[in-house]
Amino acid sequence: MMLCPVIKKLVSKRVVLASASPRRQEILNCAGLRFEVVPSKFKETLDKASFAAPYEYAVETAKQKALEVANRMNVKDFRPPDIVIGADTVVTVDGLILEKPADKQDAYNMLSRLNGKVHSVFTGVAIIHCSSKDKQLETEVFEFYEETKVKFSDLSEELLWEYIHSGEPMDKAGGYGIQALGGMLVEYVHGDFLNVVGFPLNHFCKKLMELYYPPAKDAMHHEEHDSIPSVETFEILSDEEYESANSTQQNVTNKLEGDSAFSSGAIGSLGKKEIGDSVVKCSGDLENLTKFPSTLVELLDGFKASKAMFVASKLKVFDLLKGKALLKAKDVADHINASVCGTERLLDSCTALQLLRKTNQGYSNTELADKYLVSNSEYSLHGYIMHADDHVWPLFTHLESAVKEGTNQNYRAFGKKAQDLFQDSYYHSMETKLRFMNAMHSIIKLTARDVATAFDLSRFHSACDLGGCTGTLAQVLIQEYPNLKVTVFDLPNVIENVSCFQPTGQDTSRITFTSGDFFKDNIPEADLYILSRVLHDWPDDKIDALLSKISDLCKPGCALLVAEIVLGKEKTGPPRAVLQALSMTEGKQRSSSEYKQLLEKYGFTQVQTKITGNFLDAILGFKKTTHIQ
Ligand code: SAM
């Protein structure tokens, strides 16, 4: 049985576990994951003193283990695996990191330290997505850690030595194995039991959900939304299937969040029955722990986290710490012209949010920040973050009025009444126009490939991307389809600024930019029309005008490709879409069946939806011979 639906998604992928630990293998096997085992040759010799916290050491070691395997396989097998999983478990007590004991005396020293006390077990996990370009390995690293508290009973010397002589402590972090004889030493466990065994399956499943089902199944997050890893996430879904996929994931997430440490035990032979009486005693405490409304608290503080990231982005903190730069709070404060105490608080907050790392030498970016928050990185979300801070944040400040009045709050937020959002609000000055274009550019850059390849578009020779903005989707379309020419159609004040968004060194001769108003002007002829993030902005009468125009121009066999976030049947998710609607214009988000109905109304047939798992989903319909109203 596979409790985590995303594990099914990995079936067609070559997954490698970079660990020789039979316990990790058993945990992942029981979860239904299919993988090869290639033990890492990375020597666990990182300087522990250089890490500010023990989990950082565990995460870094896990990452290095996985990278060593990925690199070795890339060279040896001429092709890297798709995913490499690395893990490292450490035990910490009294500020010391304990790994595997070197000999019996070392095991005794470790167990004596743990005797009668509470200690922490940290497992760092790295999930590495690999691809190879010209035999060069390219990796994308996702990492996390899990902490579990374990309390040892007061144990006699005799019992400790008896346990040591059993031989069990020798290959185990901290010198004990909780899943076997070592379970007898333990009075209680707070947290994920399997984390102590060696692999935090619960957190791992949540992380996979976050990576492969970002907005629908977890608040973005992905942050870390993610670039979307190269795992097949496309599905053709009806509303019902969408809902059931969503609710399965939701159920699993709820279960994982709501259950105590023992929930993961249900997955196999590492379950309850092997935990032992001593551990069961903790259930009362765990019940209390699970009563803590963590979901609510996350919501309560969510706005603080967003604003901290916005401000750090605005002050270009991530640009400063780009690459391997390690800077102290004072250096950062000097560079960004801010107070040292305020900067330190901001940097610590970003560290807590896993955007930065902190060591004795200073702060540095996490991979996530390097990839998405540095303003000139290829997949930077900086433009979108600035738009969110300057435009969306003020609108949300007036959310109460928006709800009471049922209108957008442009006037209250910006002193502008938006008749046409694009003319009056987004583009009212050069600065706001460029900020908006930057925001659109950063999102579509991440999602364009998934939209372009959601369906096989190779039969089309000409496409017209209406409201195509900076032409980013067009760039990906011409890369994917060598016979396709694309016209990007947008308002004049957008087209006049597209030059600063064009890639260097890429042949863009099959892209043409045409300016005009798709409501008032003629639109270019094409076999494929594209509306990416256009429909949700407009009220029904405008949509009617636009789709009628497209339908009239479309010859039989031609098609309309729509890219939007597709809502579930009940329209209560994904959260990104429903939350966006709160501050929106006169338009609305739609479900898969609503898009089908809409496209069919304008003469399109065989309408299919694909949920990409990325920012935008894709809907394609083909023009019928007769136009049915
Ligand atoms: N398609 C791009 C994407 O997915 O990133 C941009 C989407 S953005 C939300 C909407 C785009 O529609 C903007 O580029 C805007 O300038 C353009 N647009 C709005 N009104 C328009 C009109 N009347 N005629 C042509 N383009 C328009």
Q: What is the pLDDT of residues 328-359, one digit of tens each?
A: 999 999 999 999 999 999 999 999 998 999 99
Q: What is the pLDDT at residue 238? A: 43
Q: What is the pLDDT at residue 250? A: 37
Does ligand 1 lie within 6 Å of residue 478's CB atom?
no
Q: Interior CA angle at 585 toward 582 and 587, to 5°?
A: 95
Given the CA of residue 465, which atom of ligand 1 is nearest to it?
A: 1
User: Nearest to residue 234, comparing CAs of 253, 212, 217?
Assistant: 212
Given pLDDT bands bounded at 50, 70 and 90, which one contains residue 412? confident
Q: Going by CA atoms, what residue is nearest to atom 14 of ligand 1?
A: 469
Does ligand 1 lie within 6 Å of residue 518's CB atom?
yes
494 CA distance to ligand 1 middle (Å): 9
The whole-number average pLDDT for the span 179-189 is: 91
Q: Going by CA atoms, what residue is nearest to atom 18 of ligand 1?
A: 467
**333 Cβ neighbours under 8 A, 6+ residues apart:** 339, 340, 342, 343, 344
Rounded-to-integer distance, Cα 445 and Cα 502, Å: 12
Q: Indicate whether 437 and 492 sit together in one domain.
A: yes
Question: Best of 435, 520, 533 to mutate for ligand 1, by most ligand atoms within 8 A of CB?
Answer: 533
Q: Indicate whether 237 and 278 sit together in one domain.
A: no
User: Nearest to residue 42, comparing CAs of 124, 165, 113, 150?
Assistant: 124
User: Nearest to residue 581, comparing CAs of 570, 590, 569?
Assistant: 590
Percent of the chain topping pLDDT 70: 83
**Could you give the residue ranges of the DSSP H alpha helices within 461-591?**
472-480, 492-495, 540-553, 575-582
Given the CA of residue 437, which atom of ligand 1 is nearest to it?
A: 14
Burial class (CB in 10 A: 0-12, 13-18, 19+), 8: exposed
Q: Indicate whether 167 and 233 sit together in one domain.
A: yes
Q: What is the pLDDT at residue 11? A: 73
Residue 233 has pLDDT above 60, yes or no: no
Q: What is the pLDDT at residue 292? A: 64
Does ligand 1 lie within 6 Å of residue 471's CB atom?
no
Q: Indicate whether 275 and 229 sit together in one domain.
A: no
Domain end position, chosen among 261, 295, 313: 261
Q: Indicate whether 236 and 249 sit together in one domain.
A: yes
Residue 195 has pLDDT above 90, yes or no: yes
Question: Best of 384, 432, 437, 440 to mutate for ligand 1, by most ligand atoms within 8 A of CB?
Answer: 440
- Range of the structural domain that residue 540 is part of: 424-623
Least confident range of 71-75, 152-156, 452-456, 488-492: 71-75
Residues in the chain: 629
The whole-number average pLDDT for the span 119-126 is: 95
Structure tokens belonging to residue 422? 């694009």
Residue 228 has pLDDT above 50, yes or no: no
586 CA distance to ligand 1 middle (Å): 15
**Residue 404 maps to a domain:** no
Torsion angle in degrees (nearest 10) through CA of 181, 183, 187, 191: 160
Rounded-to-integer distance, Cα 171 and Cα 467, Å: 60
User: Nearest to residue 592, comparing CAs of 237, 246, 244?
Assistant: 237
**Residue 139 maps to a domain:** yes
Least confident range of 25-39, 406-420, 552-566, 590-604: 406-420
Does ligand 1 lie within 6 Å of residue 564's CB atom?
no
388 CA distance to ligand 1 middle (Å): 17
Q: What is the pLDDT at residue 323? A: 83
Q: Indicate whether 306 and 361 sit together in one domain.
A: yes
The whole-number average pLDDT for the span 179-193 is: 91
Bond preceding residue 574 cis, omega within 30 of 0: yes
Given pLDDT bands bounded at 50, 70 and 90, which one contains residue 427? low
Does ligand 1 lie within 6 Å of residue 490's CB atom?
yes
533 CA distance to ligand 1 middle (Å): 7
User: Collapsing DSSP states into helix, strand and coil, what is residue 566?
Assistant: coil
Q: Indicate whether 327 and 456 sit together in one domain.
A: no
Domain end position, chosen among 261, 292, 309: 261
Residue of higher predicted confidence among 95 and 420: 95
DSSP annotation string for 426-456: ITSSHHHHHHHHHHHHHHHHHHHHHHHTSS-
Q: Going by CA atoms, what residue is nearest to atom 27 of ligand 1?
A: 467
378 CA distance to ligand 1 middle (Å): 22
Q: Give residue 543's Cα distance to chain centre.
A: 32
Q: Indicate whether 282 and 192 sit together in one domain.
A: no
**Residue 544 maps to a domain:** yes
Q: Going by CA atoms, what residue is nearest to atom 12 of ligand 1?
A: 467
Does ligand 1 lie within 6 Å of residue 517's CB atom?
yes
45 CA distance to ligand 1 middle (Å): 53
Looking up residue 305, the CATH number of its domain turns out to be 1.10.10.10
Least confident range of 118-122, 219-223, 537-541: 219-223
The whole-number average pLDDT for the span 160-173 is: 90
464 CA distance to ligand 1 middle (Å): 13
The whole-number average pLDDT for the span 491-504 is: 91
Given the CA of residue 443, which atom of ligand 1 is nearest to it?
A: 5
585 CA distance to ligand 1 middle (Å): 14
Q: Does residue 192 contact residue 267 with C-beta atoms inside 8 Å? A: no
465 CA distance to ligand 1 middle (Å): 9
Q: What is the pLDDT at residue 489? A: 98
469 CA distance to ligand 1 middle (Å): 6
Beta strand ranges found along 451-603 (DSSP E): 462-466, 485-490, 511-515, 528-532, 559-564
**Residue 387 maps to a domain:** no
The whole-number average pLDDT for the span 315-323 is: 95
Q: Indicate whether 60 and 180 sit together in one domain.
A: yes
Burial class (CB in 10 A: 0-12, 13-18, 19+), 307: middle
Rounded-to-integer distance, Cα 271 and Cα 380, Å: 43
Residue of higher predicted confidence among 594 and 572: 594
Question: Best of 422, 424, 518 to mutate for ligand 1, by most ligand atoms within 8 A of CB?
Answer: 422
Q: Indicate whether 58 and 203 sit together in one domain.
A: yes
**Residue 526 maps to a domain:** yes
Q: What is the pLDDT at residue 334? A: 97
Q: Indicate whether 366 and 440 sit together in one domain.
A: no
Q: Going by CA atoms, what residue is nearest to atom 17 of ligand 1?
A: 467
Least confident range of 200-204, 420-424, 555-559, 607-611: 420-424
Least confident range of 223-232, 510-519, 535-544: 223-232
Residue 126 pairs in a beta bridge with: 86, 143
Does ligand 1 lie within 6 Å of residue 349's CB atom?
no
- What count of other Cβ atoms lies within 10 Å of the Cβ of residue 616? 22
Given the CA of residue 534, which atom of ligand 1 is nearest to it?
A: 10
Beta strand ranges found along 282-426 (DSSP E): 356-359, 362-365
**Residue 482 maps to a domain:** yes
Q: Please count the structural domains in the chain.
A: 3
**Residue 591 maps to a domain:** yes
Least confident range of 70-74, 362-366, 461-465, 618-622: 70-74
Q: What is the pLDDT at residue 291? A: 56
Q: Indicate whether 253 and 284 sit together in one domain.
A: no
**482 Cβ neighbours under 8 A, 6+ residues apart:** none
Least confident range of 204-208, 268-272, 415-419, 621-625: 268-272
Looking up residue 152, the CATH number of its domain turns out to be 3.90.950.10
Q: Which residue is listed with tokens 């992380």?
A: 207
Q: Going by CA atoms, what residue is nearest to atom 5 of ligand 1?
A: 440
Q: What is the pLDDT at residue 171? A: 84
Residue 577 has pLDDT above 60, yes or no: yes
Q: What is the pLDDT at residue 88? A: 94
Q: What is the pLDDT at residue 423? A: 67
Does ligand 1 lie within 6 Å of residue 615's CB atom?
no
Q: What is the pLDDT at residue 265? A: 29
Q: What is the pLDDT at residue 216? A: 43
Given pLDDT bands bounded at 50, 70 and 90, which one contains residue 266? very low
Q: What is the pLDDT at residue 572? A: 79
**Residue from 82, 88, 226, 527 carrying the catalytic annotation:** 88
Domain end position, chosen among 344, 363, 380: 380
Q: What is the pLDDT at residue 245? A: 39
**Residue 417 maps to a domain:** no
Given the CA of residue 520, which atom of ligand 1 is nearest to it?
A: 23
Structure tokens belonging to residue 195? 């984390």
Rounded-to-integer distance, Cα 427 and Cα 492, Å: 11
Looking up residue 539, the CATH number of its domain turns out to be 3.40.50.150
Does ligand 1 lie within 6 Å of residue 467's CB atom?
yes
Q: What is the pLDDT at residue 256? A: 29
Q: Is 88 a catalytic residue?
A: yes
Reported as a single tens digit per residue, the pLDDT across 442-473 is 999 999 999 999 999 999 999 999 999 999 99
Percent of the chain topping pLDDT 90: 56
> H/E element holding 296?
helix 294-314
Does ligand 1 lie within 6 Å of residue 379's CB atom?
no
Q: What is the pLDDT at residue 586? A: 73
Residue of higher predicted confidence among 480 and 263: 480
